[in-house]
Amino acid sequence: MVKRIRWRYLVLHVHAPLDLEARDLERSLRGHIRMFLGVYGLSRCPFKLVAYDREGKIGIVRCPHDSVEALRAALAFLSDIGGVPSSLHVVKSSGTIKKARKVVEGYVEKLKSHWALLELGMKKPSQATEK
Amino acid sequence: MDLHVRLSCGGDPPELLIGMARHLGYSLIALSLEKEPRGAPLEGLRSLSREAGLDLAFRLDLKPSSPGELKAWLSRFRRRFEVIAVYCGNVAVARTAARDRRIDVTFYDLENLPSLLDEGQMSLLQEHGKHIEFNLSDMLGLPVDKQWKALWSYRYAFKEAKRRGIPIVFSSGASRITDMRAPRELSAVASMLLEDASLARSSVSLIPARIVDENRGKLGSAFVQPGVRVVDEW
């Protein structure tokens, strides 16, 4: 009998002063992870961006349970997205997508407001007041 | 905890760094300075971080060019900071840093890592119980070919350090909030380099916390010398 893959769902928070679309984020992640782990590494760590909230900058990534640590390490080395200094923070790792979505719902407002304050601080005063 | 968050001219202000540390889930960070600050902004930062629910320690990063300079700085600054770290850019400084008991943490020039962290240095670090620090932010700006070489050097050095029981600390070394990483991410990087999950967790949490605790005890008024402290006065 073929063994079922045990998936993990990582809730990611994107720290970037960018308005990214889901496909742009997935492309950047794939490019970075292929660069960091190589093609063989990527084949052992086949991840997929399952959902992404553009406004809250929170996404859910699915990967096999035994490659969570490799994915976390690879994500720690991500320093820019499209040339803009950025980072990713794994908020929570879950065994089911239902739980991951619940975490997103619970965290989205908190993270959004917290990150908005930090993002405002990253900009120069002249940029922060621009409309 | 993150033992190395840098305050620098080109980096983000300390308020942002403290806010980001809280956002990432840290309970304690060590803010590092490269020279003694003028005025007294440190207490203001401590109260700010206390309000944010974060314990703040201060650390001094020394970048001496010679052992004489290192010793002069140590006698001047040791009692003023909770953690003293030395950037080892050459062999003479690295050897002195490994011997001097006033130093807590040593970190190394990435370009010369294999020659700096050689057998002799490892023996001294082991004998004197000094820590080796890995700063993730030093890796982030590197081009890929230098990044893999540095990772290879660290992996080799950590294998030897692990065999000898030399404590290793993993920190972000960030001066901007986008260079800061959550504790679990640092632990994953540590796990990749050390090939030992429990040691990786210790190198991000237990070992740095122990350094700060021990030094806070030493900086307290009750401390006389290692193993001797004033319990009560009459």
Q: What is the CATH number of the domain that holds A12?
A: 3.30.70.3250
Chain A nearest-CA residue for B191? A69
Query: Shortest Cα distance from A1 to chain B (angstroms)?
Result: 31
Q: Report if residue A60 sits inside a domain.
A: yes
Task: Supply the CATH number for residue B157's domain.
Answer: 3.20.20.140
Chain A nearest-CA residue for B139? A77
Listed in sequence order, the residues at least 6 apart from A104 whose beta carbon sits closer than 8 Å to its beta carbon are A11, A51, A53, A56, A58, A60
Task: Give the residue, B219 or B86, on which the prediction is more confident.
Answer: B86
Q: Report if residue B234 sits inside a domain.
A: no
Tens-digit pLDDT profile for residues B42-77: 778 888 888 888 999 999 999 999 999 999 988 888
Q: Report if residue A128 sits inside a domain.
A: no
Structure tokens at B217: 């005890």
* Interchain CB contacts (distance < 8 Å): A and B: 69
Partners of B132 in the beta sheet?
A: B106, B168
Tokens 């190395």, residue located: B4
Q: Which of A77, A87, A118 sits opposite B16 (nearest CB)?
A: A118
Tens-digit pLDDT profile for residues B3-33: 999 988 888 888 889 988 988 889 999 998 8
Q: How many separate domains does chain A show?
A: 1
DSSP string, B145-192: HHHHHHHHHHHHHHHHHHHHT--EEEE--BSSGGG---HHHHHHHHHH
Q: Report if residue A15 sits inside a domain.
A: yes
Strands A80-81 and A84-85 turn out to be antiparallel
Tens-digit pLDDT profile for residues B129-185: 999 999 999 999 888 889 999 999 999 999 999 999 999 999 999 999 889 999 999
pLDDT at position A130, please?
41
pLDDT at position A122, please?
65
Structure tokens at A40: 């063989």
pLDDT at position B75, please?
85
- Which residues constitute the domain of residue B7? 2-229
Structure tokens at A69: 């640590």
Segments in A45-124 forming alpha helices (H): 68-76, 97-122
**B38: pLDDT strictly greater than 70:** no
From chain A, pick out residues whose CB is under 8 angstroms from the CB of B144. 35
From chain A, pick out residues whose CB is under 8 angstroms from the CB of B182. 89-90
From chain B, pick out residues whose CB is under 8 angstroms from the CB of A122. 12, 16, 177-178
The band of B192, judged by pLDDT with boundaries at 50, 70 and 90, is very high
pLDDT at position A97, please?
93
**B95: pLDDT strictly greater than 60:** yes
Q: How many separate domains does chain B show?
A: 1
pLDDT at position A83, please?
86
From chain A, pick out residues whose CB is under 8 angstroms from the CB of B14. none
The band of B37, judged by pLDDT with boundaries at 50, 70 and 90, is low
Structure tokens at B93: 């400084």
3-state secondary structure of B9: coil
Q: Report if residue B83 sits inside a domain.
A: yes
pLDDT at position B221, please?
79
Q: Phi, psi at residue B154, to the nearest 5°?
A: -65, -45
pLDDT at position A27, please?
92
Q: Report if residue A131 sits inside a domain.
A: no
Q: Tell me whether residue B95 is exposed, middle or buried, using C-beta atoms within 10 angstroms of its C-beta: 0 to 12, 13 to 18, 19 or more.
A: middle
3-state secondary structure of B108: strand
Tokens 């350094």, residue located: B211
Q: Report if residue A41 sits inside a domain.
A: yes
pLDDT at position B121, please?
93
- Which residues constitute the domain of residue A87? 7-123
Residues of chain A with pLDDT under 70: 1, 117, 120-131
